[in-house]
Amino acid sequence: MAEKKPAAKNATAKKSTATIKKTSDKTAANKKVSSTNKKSPAKTSTKKTKKQPSKSTKKPYGKVAVITRTKNRPILLVRAIESVINQEYTDWLMVIVNDGGDPKPVDALVAKFKDKLDGRIHVIHNPKSLGMEAASNKGINSCDSDYVIIHDDDDAWHPTFLNRTVDFIENNSNYKNLGGVVTYMELVYEEISGDNVTEIRREGCRHWIPELTLWQMAAGNLFAPISFLYKRSVFKEIGGSYREDLPVLGDWEFNLRFMKHYDIGLIPEELSYYYHRIAGTNNQYSNTVVDGVDKHSLYNQILRNELLREDIQNNQIGLGYLINQAHVMNVQHKQVQRLYHLLEQVYGRMIKYLTPLAKMSRKAKFWKNK
């Protein structure tokens, strides 16, 4: 019995050694698995860091974003493109928003001017028409810039327009409340027959305005988009959009919001050309200000009532009161003008009929004295 004890001890020692070996093998295996698991995420994270952002997320940039809205008017669009590429100022990006029109003529024109555009062009084709202001918003939001201007497909600029307007804002950088600048406009009347555009006449437009004030803007829109260059930062601050629910007068509503917070400078020179087709051009070439007079009147009323209700609800005298007061005074001014013209006509007729009578009376006195 005494001789068996050492054997038991040896067996126990062997068993213990085997268990330690098994445990160490298992531990080594676990370490291997663990190290393998640690390496896998490292490889994945390396791949993620190498992945570059998509180039499509970067918006095209020009210091001045020129937004051109068009729809099936290629014979006018060519004028707008030439107006932009002929600018002395060259740091611009032209964004053409084809709002539901045939894309082929637009693409053909862009291809025709490819060399002169020199990559400074961005074209958006809307499958369906979104409307004027929605087209403006889409064009503005599709790019990046310091300044923005709406250059419709039928209007044009003097070659120095961008130079003068950009310089005006940047030379007045100490004027913190300056949000934009306009120039005087020349109104150009034309008619279209087939593919032929014939100019009828030109005349100065609203040259009586010595400065731009919120009071004057409340009475009615003072300028067309073609003459108004403004800071993109102000556009973002006052809402970042034109109102898409307004089929007309969207620019006036925007200008009112703009002038509630910022001033607009004035360059008293005709550097922008505002084209009108003569009344009766009821097709894709017509102007809303010429052929949409009734709609303008309706939405003028809608805007005035909307803003006045806002004042009443907020228990304030604000833009609603101002715009309606200015409208009343504007109506009274027109009535006085009509009365003045009527009196002029009456006076003219009186002179016409009384002058011969006066001559006859003088002759009668002459012969009586004889």
Q: Which residue has the higher pLDDT, 365 or 182?
A: 182
The answer on 164 and 96 residing in a single domain is yes
Domain assignment present for residue 5? The answer is no
Which pLDDT score, from 0 to 100, does residue 359 have? 72
Specify the 3-state DSSP secondary structure of 256. Answer: helix
Domain assignment present for residue 280? The answer is yes
The answer on 342 and 227 residing in a single domain is no
| Containing structural domain, residue 170 | 58-291
The answer on 222 and 298 residing in a single domain is no
Which pLDDT score, from 0 to 100, does residue 12 have? 43
Overall number of domains in the chain: 2
Question: Could you say which of 291, 326, 349 is where a domain stops?
Answer: 291
Mean pLDDT of 222-245: 97
The answer on 353 and 260 residing in a single domain is no
The two tokens of residue 253 are: 């509503």
* Helix residue ranges per DSSP H, the chain: 4-50, 74-85, 103-112, 114-117, 132-141, 161-171, 214-219, 232-237, 250-261, 288-291, 293-313, 319-369
Question: Could you say which of 276, 291, 306 is where a domain stops?
Answer: 291
The answer on 230 and 85 residing in a single domain is yes
Which pLDDT score, from 0 to 100, does residue 365 have? 62
Q: What share of the chain in percent tops pLDDT 70? A: 78
Q: What's the CA gap between 286 and 248, in Å, rounded?
A: 14
Mean pLDDT of 317-345: 84
Residue matched to tokens 């370490």? 31
On the question of pLDDT at 94 being above 90, the answer is yes
The answer on 312 and 233 residing in a single domain is no
Mean pLDDT of 94-113: 98
Which pLDDT score, from 0 to 100, does residue 281 have? 52
Q: Which residue has the higher pLDDT, 63 or 278?
A: 63
Tens of pLDDT, residue by residue over 23-62, are: 444 444 444 444 444 444 444 444 444 444 444 568 999 9
On the question of pLDDT at 368 being above 70, the answer is no
Domain assignment present for residue 34? The answer is no
pTM, entire model: 0.75
The answer on 154 and 270 residing in a single domain is yes
Domain assignment present for residue 216? The answer is yes
The answer on 204 and 123 residing in a single domain is yes
Domain assignment present for residue 191? The answer is yes
Domain assignment present for residue 334? The answer is yes
Domain assignment present for residue 137? The answer is yes
CATH of the domain at 77: 3.90.550.10
The region of weakest confidence among 35-44, 122-131, 273-282 is 35-44
Q: What's the CA gap between 44 and 242, in Å, rounded?
A: 46
The answer on 303 and 174 residing in a single domain is no
Q: Which residue has the higher pLDDT, 298 or 332?
A: 298
Burial of 61 (0-12, 13-18, 19+ CB in 10 A): middle
Q: Which residue has the higher pLDDT, 165 or 278?
A: 165
Domain assignment present for residue 200? The answer is yes
On the question of pLDDT at 170 being above 60, the answer is yes
The answer on 237 and 355 residing in a single domain is no
Which pLDDT score, from 0 to 100, does residue 360 have? 74
Q: Work out the mean pLDDT of the chain and round it to a whole number.
A: 84
Give the angle subtended at the CA of 40 by the CAs of 35 and 44, to the nearest 5°.
150
The answer on 196 and 128 residing in a single domain is yes
Of the pLDDT bands very low, low, confident and very high (cuts 50, 70, 90), residue 206 is confident
Which pLDDT score, from 0 to 100, does residue 351 have? 82
The answer on 287 and 315 residing in a single domain is no
Tens of pLDDT, residue by residue over 176-194, are: 999 999 999 999 999 998 8
Which pLDDT score, from 0 to 100, does residue 227 have? 98
Tens of pLDDT, residue by residue over 67-90, are: 999 999 999 999 999 999 999 999
Tens of pLDDT, residue by residue over 298-310, are: 999 999 999 999 9
Question: Could you say which of 247, 275, 291 is where a domain stops?
Answer: 291
